[in-house]
Amino acid sequence: MLKYSLRRLASAIPTLFLLITVAFFLIRIAPGGPFDGERALPAEIEANLAAKYHLDEPLVFQYARYLWQIARLDFGPSFHYRDWSVNELILQGAPVSFTLGILALAIALIAGVLIGAWAALRQNRPGDYAVMSFAMIGISIPNFVMAPLLILLFAITLGWLPAGGWDYSPTRMILPVVTLALPMIAYIARITRGSMIEVLHSSYIRTVRAKGMPEKEVILRHALKPALLPVISYLGPAAAAIMTGSVVVERIFTIPGIGTYFVQGALNRDYTLVMGVVILYGMLIILFNFLVDLLYAWLDPRIRYDDGEAEA
Residues that bind another protein (CB under 8 A): 11-12, 14-15, 18-19, 22-23, 26-27, 29-31, 136-137, 139-142, 144-145, 147-149, 151-152, 156, 240, 243-244, 247-248, 251-252, 262-263, 266-267, 269, 271, 274-275, 277-278, 281-282, 285-286, 289
According to DSSP, the residues that pair with 85 across neighbouring strands are: 77
DSSP state of 38: S
DSSP state of 75: -
Of 222 and 265, the one with the shorter C-beta distance to another protein is 265
Of 104 and 147, the one with the shorter C-beta distance to another protein is 147
Of 228 and 248, the one with the shorter C-beta distance to another protein is 248
Cα separation, 188 vs 300, in Å, equals 19
Q: How far is the CB of 44 from another protein (least distance, A)?
A: 28
Q: How far is the CB of 96 from another protein (least distance, A)?
A: 18
Distance of alpha carbon 22 from the chain centroid: 20
Q: How far is the CB of 216 from another protein (least distance, A)?
A: 31
Q: How far is the CB of 215 from another protein (least distance, A)?
A: 28
Of 37 and 212, the one with the shorter C-beta distance to another protein is 37
User: Residues 161-168: contacts with CB within 8 Å, 24+ apart?
Assistant: 163/253, 164/252, 164/253, 164/254, 164/255, 165/253, 165/254, 165/255, 166/96, 166/253, 166/254, 166/255, 166/256, 166/257, 168/99
Single-letter residue type at 169? S
Q: How far is the CB of 285 from another protein (least distance, A)?
A: 5
Cα separation, 193 vs 198, in Å, equals 9
